[in-house]
Amino acid sequence: MISLLKRIFKSRGVDKLIYACVVILTIYGIVMIGSASVGQTAKYGPTYATMNMIKQMIFVLSGFAFMIFFTRCFKKGWVNSPSTWVTYVIGLGLMIVCLAFRDVKGSHAWIQIGSFTIQPAEFMKIIMILFLSFHFGEIEEYCQIPKNISRKKKEELQKRKLWYCVVRPILAIIVVFFVGVLLQKDLGSALILAFICMMLFFITPRPYYTKYKKLSLILLVIAFVVAILGMNFILKPHQLGRITTWLNPLLDEKGDGWQLVNALVAFSNGGLFGQGFGASRQKYGYIPESHNDFIVAIIYEELGLVGFLLFLIPYCIIIYKMFHYGMKVKETKSKLILYGVGLYFFTHLLVNVGGVSGLIPMTGVPLLLISSGGSSTWAAMIGIGIAQSIIAKYNRDLLKEQIS
């Protein structure tokens, strides 16, 4: 482990503070997964907590290997038209393959290989960040329209540019979203993926997209109003139940509101310094998925506001660094990759903590690098590795400029 950490921090040009935050979050996650899992040992056996920690440790160590590989080997030239479409089709295909496996709480979002499960939607978020970084950040350069051409040819090229730069990537986003919602029935992951994609479209600095951004904003407002008015017809009963529970958790405290009510109790027990490490009461059957989506409630109950800040601050540093370098890097494709990774971490933080604390409806998404889970851990570390590759190149180029 020490040797692995030395190799990570020796990488030239990388932002070592980002790596430090990843190390803090992953170690903190392993420890808290063990603590949160203790409450379920009566149901799953005395080794349950230890096994969860070992599994997460394996995911973290293999995740570090992925992160180092992408940091050292990733080239922005890999993100091109053939590669983005190949990875898109593979990712979409894996999401559809999930239908062949049994559902988990009504969602077909996992590929099950023995006791090991893979959630393709997590990797699809990284794939879509790369896909859109090319389509919104580079392909427009290849579709420049010459000035001295006939009007008919110009109109033809404008239509072709519209198709390649706007229509085709947006259709790709819509297809992934509806596969997630209608086939997988995993609304939480689909909404996060759609939000990241939408934000990348609005963030792209290329002037060509300005008029389409305005049109998209109007369409989004209309869609939002229609969704609110037609909520009873669009959403399924269990999805409506989550909204009802969010508005009034005590309305069905023994049913749909059970986890949220007990999570709020955990928050109220926490205070400034918490009940003490391992001293949570809510993890003993009151919060069934205490080491997964609701791990924040256990952290707060045991370690209080101080423990909450122990993961919130490193999270905020990672998000800040991604946007900081995103604003500094000149090349649009690299900008969008950095913004995308920052949005990935920000959205998961917002949705998970907001859902567990009752600020927004619960959608069941993990807290990256903290919650138990291999797919989310690997996807997050791959994203960090790709981002660090871009950051390292930027810092090395900046150093060369300063020396010369």
pLDDT in tens, 19-36: 999 999 999 999 999 999
Average pLDDT over residues 219-224: 85
Structure tokens at 274: 């918490």
Fill in the amino acid letter for 354. G
Give every CB contact of residue 160 below 8 A, 6+ residues apart in sequence: 143
Return the H-helix or E-strand segment holding 202: helix 187-203
Average pLDDT over residues 2-17: 72
Quickly state the pLDDT bin for 250 (edges 50, 70, 90): confident
Reference 338, options 395, 382, 381, 388; nearest CA is 388
Percent of the chain surpassing pLDDT 70: 93
CB 387 within 8 A of CB 133: no
Average pLDDT over residues 333-351: 95
Q: Is 112 helix (H, G, I), strand (E, B) or coil?
A: strand
- Distance, in Å, from the CA atom of 52 to the CA atom of 47, rounded to the nearest integer, reads 9
Q: Token match 């005590």: residue?
A: 250
Q: Is 390 helix (H, G, I), strand (E, B) or coil?
A: helix
Say how far residue 294 (Cα) sits from the centre of its chain.
16
Structure tokens at 54: 């070992």
Q: Is 254 helix (H, G, I), strand (E, B) or coil?
A: coil
Residue-wise pLDDT for 107-161, tens only, equals: 888 898 877 889 999 999 999 999 999 999 888 777 777 777 878 888 888 888 8
- Distance, in Å, from the CA atom of 319 to the CA atom of 341, rounded to the nearest integer, reads 8
What is the pLDDT, as a whole number, of residue 231?
63
Tell me the pLDDT of the chain averaged across its residues.
87
CB 379 within 8 A of CB 66: no
Q: Rg of the chain's alpha carbons, rounded to an integer? A: 22
Q: Which residues, in sequence order, are bridge partners of residue 353? A: none
Reference 326, options 315, 316, 344, 338; nearest CA is 338
Structure tokens at 162: 């519209």
Average pLDDT over residues 162-167: 88
What is the pLDDT, as a whole number, of residue 102?
86
From first CA to last CA, the distance across the chain in angstroms is 38
What is the pLDDT, as a whole number, of residue 51?
92
Structure tokens at 68: 């180092």
DSSP 8-state class, residue 282:
T
Structure tokens at 257: 């509101």
Reference 88, options 38, 35, 132, 22; nearest CA is 132
